[in-house]
Amino acid sequence: MAGQGILDGKAVIVTGAGAGLGRAYACDLAGSGAAVVVNDLDAAAADEVASIIANAGGRTIADHHTVSDPADAAAIIDTAITAFGRLDGLVNNAGVFYVAAPQDDDPSRATDMVATNLLGSLYCGLRAIRYMVGHGGGAIVNDTSGAQAGMSRRGTYGATKGATASLTYSWAMDLRAHGVRVNAVSPIARTAMVDYGVALGERGTDVAPEHVAPLVTYLISDAAAAVTGQIIRLDGPELSVLSRPGAQRRTARSDGWDRATIAAVLPTLLE
C-alpha cells in the first residue's frame, strides 16, 4: 500500500474503524498511502482491520481506547504521534445508534449516545486540533446524518449529529487561518445501523460502505485543500453539499410584533 497514493507520508486516525463505514475508510486511506490508526472499542475487530492493512503492505496500528472519555480520546491521538511521528488527519466516525419515541427514550441511554457521538468527536477533535495547529495544519472529517434535520424516533441521535454539524462549521471558521480544514460527511451505506432500521420496517440500501470511502480519502488529502466547512452527502449516485441552517428567506416586517400580528402573519410564512 505504501508509496501508491495521494496520502503518502501522512498519518490518519479513524475512530470506530472495526466495522462498517469506519473499516472501509481505514482501508481506503491505507490504500492511498496513509499510515492509519485503526481505533475501535471492539479490540478483535480493530486488530482484524489492522491486520488486513498490514498484510497488504500498509503501515497501521490498532487502538482500543474509547472516544467518550477525554483521557482515552487524548490517548488515541497520541497513539498516532507516537507510532508514526505525526498526525495529518482525523476521521471522527465512532458512534452508537438506537431509535426510540421521545416518551420512551431512556436518559442514561441518551447520555451514552451523546458521550460517544458528540463528545467523542469533540474530545478527539480538540486534542488533534492542538497538535495540528502547532505542526502546520491537517484535516478533520466528522460524521453527520440526515437525522440532524429531524427524523422520527431519532431525536437524541439527530441532536448529536446536528451538534456535530455545528462543530464542523465553527471549527472550520476558526481553524482556516491555521491550515486546519474541517468537513463532515453524511453518508448512506449498508451498515449495522441501517440493518437495524430495516428490521423495524424502514427503507434500506444495498450501497456498500466502500462506495463512500473515497469521499473521506479525498477530504483528508491535499487535493481538497480548498474545501472546508462543508457537509457533504453521498447517497448512491448522488453527491450533494448540504445547506447551512439559518433563517428562511421568506420574511415579514412590522413596526410592532404583538400576539395578534404574529398570529396573522406567521401562517403566511409557513405556506
Query: What is the set of active-site residues?
Result: 157
Grid coordinates given for 236: 448512491
Give 13's strand partners. 37, 90
Going from the C-alpha of 58 to that of each of 9, 75, 87, 90, the distances in angstroms are 11, 22, 16, 18
Q: For residue 26, which of 41, 44, 48, 9 has the smallest C-alpha distance?
A: 48
3-class SS of residue 99: coil
Number of CB atoms found within 10 A of residue 74's CB:
17
Alpha helices in the chain (DSSP H): 20-31, 43-55, 70-84, 107-113, 120-134, 155-175, 192-199, 213-220, 259-269
Grid coordinates given for 140: 478533520
Give 35's strand partners. 11
Asked if 72 contacts 127 with a C-beta cutoff of 8 angstroms, the reply is no
Give 187's strand partners. 234
- Residue 106 and residue 68: Cα distance in Å, rounded? 18
Calculated CA dihedral for residues 51, 55, 7, 83, nearest 10 degrees: 50
